[in-house]
Structure 1
Amino acid sequence: MLGDGIYSVPGTGFIGWIESFKLAADNPDLKPIKTYQSEIGFDLNFKFGTFNLTGFYNTMKDGITTVEDPFTKQASLIQLNSTTTPASYDVIGKRDIYFFSNNLINALKSEDIGAEMFFTFNRIKALNLDIQLNGSFTKTTNTPNKIQYSASTILTAPERYAVYNGLVTKSEQLNLGSNFNYHLKKVGLILSLRTEHILMMNHNRNQNRYPIGYLDDRMVYHAIPVADQTNTDKYGHLIQKPVKGDESLQRALHNFHLRISKDFLNGFKVSVYTTNVLGLKPTYIDSVKVRNLYPIAEFSLGAKLEYTF
């Protein structure tokens, strides 16, 4: 919408005026997201178990993300007529207006590199016990190939909006886990315990926010030479505070899940399971010294009934 209002015309009444236009709701130039996955691994067989290690490298290109696009449109200049009844107006010219509109584009790239391992021990027959250990390490980098805008801190400056590169985010995580399955054959009972351990979890968004260019009062883009992007005398009103987003796990997180299953001779099987069986509520202290709960699985209890014909 470019203009709207209700105007009072002395002696003739009121007149309402609205001018609007439509922007395309979609982007016909959008391309399909491209993903590439590659992995390599090996297995080692020992007398007491099997070890598997797999490394992977995954990439995503042409990811879809939202950007702000600067627009220039012309709005009508109107003149109210005070001599007509009912009130009326005439369009006497045009004026430029400038604004931003959101748009979807292919501008996101993501890379995942990491490894997964599994160690499955042979059953301990004397105890009817199966044990499996697992672990994974993942490092992810998200790179938005887009630009961002922010209004100048000096409204009268010829540089109306600063232009920045998109924020790159990096994260890495190290997990370990285990599974224990204990089988009581005499009563057809299986006890399963699964453990989860997050040993490392980092998230980094630390970046300086120096402008790579600016938009003038007509939304025309002007590039800023690299040598001048940190010049506070010329562009201090466009330079923002560095983004601080370095978050690290303060201490390891642990969680335990239990399942009890009973097989009956008539084909029925009953399972009772609980997540976070110990009711753990680990906390961390954020950047403003407030203690918060980590988002691990909360305690819950459930059951499942199966019948096999």
Structure 2
Amino acid sequence: MAVTSAHLISYDHEHDLMPLVLANCHYSFEMGVGTKIEYDFAGMERQLIDRFLCYKSKIEIHQYLKVDLMVYRTEVTNVSVFNKLQGNIPQEHLNSAVKKQICEELRSLPDVCETLDNLNIAISFLKTTGGNPAMPIHRFIEETLRMDKSLLSQKARQTCELRHARSLWLLLSFLKSRLLVDYQHATEAVIETLPNGFYEDLPNEVKSSFGEYMHHLSTEKLSNLLELLHEFLLLRVAVQENPDDDDFVDTRKYRLFESLKQYIELSESPVLEPVILNGSPTGLLYEHGAKAWVLANETLLRKIGTRRRS
């Protein structure tokens, strides 16, 4: 197979390797001897493989093989990772009041990105090691992983426990996307985990009917739809099969809101009732999902009278 940039592995010594080493250190103290440090090399090896290698394809090395020099960082917090996390630590939803306060405290894009990066590191360990569901996330990051900073929201530090890791990740990712749109980033940069071909513009007729549908939604319902659609794009639409597989199915032409309705019906605590999707345009497909989300965000901003940053 041809080697692409996606096969490469990049890592940061301070943020990727040191927390892994520290998490696999066992300290003991003996009188007259002092502190003794033992390393769990087997555990370290498992986590290295799980985090950096298991999602990569095998490369057959041929003579004169050329690989472009670049930095590539794989997306580790996808649906398969959350399934593993759920198996080790049953996950629960944050309530709307807590989520609202976290959003109010994290208004800066750098703060959101730093908090999300720290949470990504924590999740990459938790999906393998598990932990006490009631342990505060910031304590795990700061005390177990020995990282200097963790959650930059005071409310998140006070409220979010390991059982809220998935819910907090979804909230931070949602907030990050909204801020990126606010700063007029391209749609491909806002929701970057979607495959090529899923950033198509809405046809004029579909765009018009979608706008009419959103016009009749209250601000609260549109806000909930925006959050749920973002989750659906990240955890369902972005999950693609290998095009080379015999049973590959191209999902680009799937009806977006029909699948979203099924997703809501299977959710334990949906933020939106399925009936709200009645009247949504049937011509809205997976391939329009990213642009539809950006359009919904712009519509919500107009409804609440918020000006975009310049």
Q: TM-score range by the shorter chain?
A: under 0.3
> What is the TM-score normalised by the length of structure 2?
0.20
Larger Rg: 1
Query: Which of the pair is proportionally richer in strand?
Result: 1
Query: Which of the pair is proportionally richer in helix?
Result: 2
> What is the TM-score normalised by the length of structure 1?
0.20
